[in-house]
Chain A
Amino acid sequence: MKNTALLKKHLLFIIIAVSMLVAPLFTNAYQLRILISAALAMIFAMSLNLLMGIGGTVSFGHAAFYSIGAYTTAVLWYHFKTPYSTNFIPVILITGLAGLLLSLPMSRITGRYVTIITLSFAEIVNLIIKNWDPVTLGQMGIVGIPSVNLFGHVLKDKREFFYLTMLFVILTYIIMNWLVDSKLGRNLRAISNDAIAAEAMGIKIFPYKVIVFTISAIFAGIAGSLYAHLMSYVEPATFNANLSFECISMVVIGGLGNFAGTMVGALFLKILPEYLRQFEFLFKYRMIAYGLVLVIVMWINHSIPGTKLKNAISTRISALFRKKSAEAEEV
């Protein structure tokens, strides 16, 4: 009984995870690369969903953490030639610290100011990366980053890289679910539902903001660090505001607080542009599709896999029929 409930709750996740895991049997190298970038986007977007859907804070600068993760591993490789497995801990520490730093002003800041603080933070991080030439090589970026090296084993085969990424995707999903069903997750949801009532229940808001920003930043950083090794180069221009907006879109399409939905959103927004690539005109204007999807999802009801869409459609259809039958009766 309990197991069926559990299965039902995670059904969407299981479907996506299983089909992703078997996909490399059928894909060519190019398609595999798209799948890897979709998997990275899943980790990145799930980390933002923790902040938005559970923590109730819309971050417009989430790309900052992604770029910090990517640059940490890239810079360490460039200067010290350290492998990925060695860089992993610094990636977690530095992105976590960045998240903590961004959460500090949040103690006194609500709503609208969060937007500008997160935007400005991302802008500043990008400017530092762009101008700190001795460390980040500035505008040029760092090139020639080798593939992931796990304790001496280099993942030369992209399939290996894919499965490592999927391992992180599954881990992220599981940890997010553990978190949501715990005291931490409940209190976070309570704060985002009604901060005043949460305070009345004895929840101190500020420490929770610090925690949620830190955790969210760490997962975004992990995704970023894998990105650096996938692409084999990093440059500041990649990590612009559009990356943050794209991430928000993935979360929004999947539904706030719905992590399996976020995976659908990431998959959708990563595969759609590639699909459009065959139509030159559509590919040129593919970002319009992103924009339209955002507006339309907001119209309908903020979530595609959720029940809300089904409800919205069914009520609209039934309304249509009612209208028709009413007209018929009048005649």
Chain B
Amino acid sequence: MSLLSVKNLTIRFGGLVAVDNLSFEMEPGKITSLIGPNGAGKTTVINMLTGFYTPTGGKIILHEKDEKGNEVEVDITGNSTDQVVKKGLSRTFQNIRLFSNMTALDNILVGMQHRIEYGSFLSLFPNGKKNKWEKQAREEAMEILKKVGLEDAANERATSLPYGKQRKLEIGRALASHPKVLLLDEPAAGMNPAEKKELSQFIRSLLNEVDGILLIEHDMKLIMDISDKIVVLNHGAKICEGKPEEVQNNEEVIEAYLGKKGVQRNVTGSK
């Protein structure tokens, strides 16, 4: 049984086909990576999965279990961003998008917002329901901060944190919504090799928190290290799919990255 199925997903912007007939499956407990040269349409796929873009065609299916343990398919194609979050998809951004003027704790609390069940009217004055939810949410948010190693920075402004910690805070914020599927858009961008190594262990450890991870990354070493499955995109279309070693030796992939001449060389040897 798979966790998330993407079936024939297509999006056109005007005449440009950004993602073309893309299909892949995400398995539970696994890290699925989406790679491809710049402009291949990777982020566009995440934008469609999370409801920022409405696909022109195709389906996005989330597999869930109902109370009796039977598998049910939930179609989330074209859902709005808030519906998608409620159904269990949460994302980070390529260029970190934290709430810069808010504290780390507040950032996590915003990530948690759809699970905090008191409305706007009760926000206006103190009351039992609000106090209970706020207390509970703050405790949980501190735990999340601990998980991402930021418990000491709870009351610091998000922008005052060092770059690596901002990345982690963003991942923590995504975790706060209790997602089934976590979508990470280039989490290692701008990090040095030591930081990347630590990050890859961290991402692995996240599988304890979520059912599955979809990862977009440019760093081939990181991808090959932690992915269970890799989907390769070029010009919006899937050119190859498989385990890291299968993808590494695929000629079409090498060609997409290095051009025709590069086929003679090895992808990993060229880093």
Contacts and interface: CB of A to CB of B under 8 A. Distances in A.
Interface of A: 175, 178-179, 182-187, 189-190, 193-194, 196-204, 207-208, 211, 215
Nearest to A189: B102
Given A183-B130, A202-B114, 4 more contacts: A178-B123, A183-B113, A189-B101, A211-B120
Nearest to B115: A202
Contact of B82 (A179, A183, A196, A204): A204
A200 B81 contact: yes
23 contacts: A175-B125, A182-B123, A183-B109, A183-B133, A183-B134, A185-B123, A187-B110, A187-B113, A190-B102, A193-B99, A194-B98, A196-B93, A198-B99, A199-B52, A200-B81, A200-B90, A200-B91, A201-B111, A202-B81, A202-B177, A203-B82, A204-B80, A215-B124
Contacts of B52: 196, 199-200
Interface string B55-88: 0000000000000000000000000111011100
A290 B238 CA distance: 61
Given A189-B102, A190-B110, A178 B124 contact: yes
Contacts of B135: none
B106 interface: yes
Contacts of A198: 99, 110
Contact of B50 (A175, A179, A193, A200): A200
A293 to B, nearest CB: 24
Contacts of B100: 193-194
- Chain B interface size band reads 35 or more
Contacts of A187: 110, 113
A182 B131 CA distance: 9
Given A200-B81, A200-B93, A202-B82, A183 B102 contact: no
B176 to A, nearest CB: 8
Contacts of A208: 120
B263 interface: no
Contacts, number: 93
A184 B110 contact: no
B271 interface: no
B126 interface: yes
Interface pairs A-B: 6 shortest CB-CB? A202-B85, A184-B123, A182-B123, A197-B97, A193-B99, A202-B82
A209 to B, nearest CB: 12
B112 to A, nearest CB: 9
B102 A193 contact: yes
A173 to B, nearest CB: 13
Contacts of B173: 201
A197 B126 contact: no
Contacts of A199: 52, 81-82
Interface in B101-155: 101-102, 106, 109-111, 113-114, 116, 118, 120, 122-126, 130, 133-134
* Among B84, B109, B124, B173, residue most surrounded by chain A Cβ atoms (within 10 Å): B124
Contact of A203 (B50, B110, B123): B110
